[in-house]
Structure 1
Amino acid sequence: MNILRKLATSLMFLSAAGAAAAADGNRALGWGSLFSNDALGDGKDRWRSAALVVSHVRGDGWTGQLPDRFGALVEYRFRTEMITPVNVASPSASDRRYVGALSFGAHTHFQKGATEMSAGLDFVFVGPQTNVDQLQDSFHGLFESASVNVDGFQVENAVYPTLTFEAGRKFDVGATGALRPFVEVQAGAETLARIGADVTFGSFGQGALMLRDNPTGQRYSGIAGDAPLGTSLVLGGDVAYVADSQYLDQAGITHKDMRARLRAGVHQQLRRGAVFYGVTYLSEEYDSQPEGQVVGSLSARLKF
């Protein structure tokens, strides 16, 4: 617990430190984003329905590899997510409660020897205070989908400070492949421990800062690398032991102790940008969930 307290204290000062360091050479190094939606996957509009993450990376510079110092490279992360019951117009009393989440945080990325690490603190806001349900209802109106009527069926208003730590190591596989096993621990909105791996065939991620999406585990670039033109295939998977979930437990929904994710994607490097599309299978998260789901993810980086 002492380590967690020290980590939390350090991360809380990252944002202020980043602003103070701007006068000492700290500068913008890159942006990254990933949009996920089940309309891009199985198209059934339920559970992990939609998410967007936007990352801004700052530091003294980028050489194509992580610095060896904690706090030298900082990612400022904004994320929103819509986690829904099966029927958002008339939810069943036995289904999971609606979660409209907004989170803001700072993550530092660094390397010790051959081990890549990241540590971050996010403040996750949930409940009607976020107005995410109204945003989703507006989107549904544009596409003539079912209205979102979850009044009284959301998780309660709360703010959950959430710590995340990941460590991974990359191994070359043949001439163009790479295998990266990793472990992750998270404590806060959901508390879990995860182990998994990602495999890349091609140049995706070459010389880039790669970041991980929270709900899908898909990786996206926060600093563009120097990958040559061409197509890359990415595969990955992980399993997690879930100790608790504020998204489920507070509503009396029994969470499953184990979760699994399987993912695949294609990255196309173009002359004036890059495009990524991926799909992720998410296993059941609570006891009464009848099956898993498939969500799709999209990211684009274009130069004008």
Structure 2
Amino acid sequence: MRRFFRFALGFAAALAVAVPASAEETGSFGFLGWARLSNNDWIGDGDDRWQSGGSSHSFMFGPEGITEAPAQWGRLIELRARIQVISPDNYTAPAAWDRRAAGVITSTLNSHVEQNGFELSAGAGLAFTGPRTGLIRFQNFIHDLTPADDPKVPAAVEAAQIGNGIYPTLQGTAARRIRLSDHATLRPFVEGQAGVESFARVGGDLFIGPAFDGGVLLRDGTTGFNYRGLDAGARPGVSLVFGADTARVFSSALLPASDGYQLTPLRHRARAGVMVEGRRLSLFQGVAWLGPEFDAQPSGQVTGVFQLRLRF
């Protein structure tokens, strides 16, 4: 673990060191923008369970005016913060077979490139779990504010959540856009991660319409939906996206084997969404089906996603 931790920190440091040199070659290096995608089980199948809610926040840095991934590593840097709130199926009275609640905050430093038609990214960082993330308490705070007066996670369930931990994380992905027609693009991908959950995943997405033609596409860790890290200025209109993927999960600190959890042999996801693009505003909404993550989980779940972007 110590060797892995040193490697993760060294990788992140190498990306940071690469930035000043590339900035000298291409001009002013700075903040390019912020992208966010939120997911919540309540706006999917109406429940509040398992992958209950979360969001991905991406802060992009690079040479001024860049809108596409460069060919050199270290020229386009993404600082990503991912938030996950995980709950039992019935968190007011969880069944003995069900998973424990968990709050997870993952922060990674990633570099994005495009080489020989392939979109590549690699990154390293840390994932934090446990009560000190404050996410279960924050979920209760949000439930206090909702007009439906949703029930709160009981103290016993909060106390039994996955404990405090720090997990060095490495991740990488490769994708390729294949133009099928003037209005349709297929984007197959592979990705892998070692950390709080270690897995290998393969899948693809079909885009119909102009919304995802250019820019730098990022992927939400919970639902698999793509979202734009850099906006290339898509043409106004309505676009559709359909996607699916399958992962082999090798280990999960969120479903510890020491507690008797058995991971499903494969973890499946499917998704569909619509993007309405205007000159000053874009709105994306979709739903994702997430298959069972452990053998005792009786079914999958449907979670909703939402993104609003304004241009000034």
- TM-score bucket (shorter structure): over 0.9
| Residue 296 (structure 2) aligns with | 288
Distance 1:139 1:151 in 2: 15
| Residue 148 (structure 1) aligns with | 153
**Matched residue of 1:111: which SS?**
strand
| Residue 77 (structure 1) aligns with | 80
Offset at residue 80 of structure 1 (A)? 1.0
For residues 183-194 of structure 1, what are the structure 2 equivalents within 5 Å?
Answer: 183-194=190-201
| Residue 107 (structure 1) aligns with | 110
Q: Is residue 123 of structure 2 the alignment partner of residue 120 of structure 1? A: yes
Deviations 1:21-50 (A, max 9, x none): 878721111210001001111011100000
| Residue 92 (structure 1) aligns with | 95
Out of 35, 47, 53, which is 1:44 matched to? 47
**Matched residue of 1:122: which SS?**
strand
Distance 2:191 2:103 in 1: 24
Q: Is residue 300 of structure 2 the alignment partner of residue 297 of structure 1? A: no
Letter of the aligned partner of 1:253 in structure 2?
A: Y
Distance 2:4 2:203 in 1: 24
Letter of the aligned partner of 2:152 in structure 1?
A: S
Deviations 1:26-83 (A, max 9, x none): 1111210001001111011100000111111001145443111111100011121101
Deviations 1:274-298 (A, max 9, x none): 0000110000000110000000000
Q: 1:62 to 1:197 in 2, by over 3 A?
A: farther
Q: Tell me if the contact between 2:262 and 2:294 (Cα under 8 Å) persists in the aligned partners.
A: yes
**Matched residue of 1:227: which SS?**
coil
Q: Tell me if the contact between 1:119 and 1:166 (Cα under 8 Å) persists in the aligned partners.
A: yes
Offset at residue 257 of structure 1 (A)? 2.0
Q: Tell me if the contact between 1:50 and 1:83 (Cα under 8 Å) persists in the aligned partners.
A: yes
Deviations 1:111-167 (A, max 9, x none): 221111011113110011111110000111112101112233211110111111100
Q: Is residue 283 of structure 2 the alignment partner of residue 275 of structure 1? A: yes
Q: Is residue 268 of structure 2 the alignment partner of residue 227 of structure 1? A: no
Offset at residue 206 of structure 1 (A)? 2.5
Letter of the aligned partner of 2:251 in structure 1?
A: D
| Residue 30 (structure 1) aligns with | 33
| Residue 68 (structure 2) aligns with | 65
| Residue 206 (structure 2) aligns with | 199
For residues 254-265 of structure 1, what are the structure 2 equivalents within 5 Å?
Answer: 254-265=262-273
Letter of the aligned partner of 2:270 in structure 1?
A: L
Offset at residue 4 of structure 1 (A)? 11
Distance 1:18 1:147 in 2: 45
Q: Tell me if the contact between 1:84 and 1:99 (Cα under 8 Å) persists in the aligned partners.
A: yes
**Matched residue of 1:151: which SS?**
helix
Extract unaligned runs of 5+ from structure 1.
Answer: none
Deviations 1:164-201 (A, max 9, x none): 11001111011111111110111111111000001100
Q: 1:145 to 1:239 in 2, by over 3 A?
A: same
| Residue 11 (structure 1) aligns with | 12
Distance 2:215 2:65 in 1: 9
Letter of the aligned partner of 1:255 in structure 2?
A: L
Identity percentage over the alignment? 38
Q: Which moved more, 1:96-105 or 1:274-283?
A: 96-105
User: What is the TM-score normalised by the length of structure 1?
Assistant: 0.93
Offset at residue 252 of structure 1 (A)? 2.8
Aligned length: 303
Offset at residue 5 of structure 1 (A)? 7.7
Distance 1:62 1:176 in 2: 26
Q: 1:180 to 1:3 in 2, by over 3 A?
A: farther
For residues 240-259 of structure 1, what are the structure 2 equivalents within 5 Å?
Answer: 240-249=247-256, 250-259=258-267
Q: 1:298 to 1:128 in 2, by over 3 A?
A: same
Extract unaligned runs of 5+ from structure 2.
Answer: none
Q: Tell me if the contact between 1:205 and 1:225 (Cα under 8 Å) persists in the aligned partners.
A: no
CA RMSD of aligned residues (A): 2.2
Offset at residue 224 of structure 1 (A)? 1.2
Letter of the aligned partner of 1:295 in structure 2?
A: T
Q: 1:151 to 1:66 in 2, by over 3 A?
A: closer
Out of 179, 182, 195, which is 2:189 matched to? 182
Q: Which moved more, 1:16-25 or 1:212-221?
A: 16-25
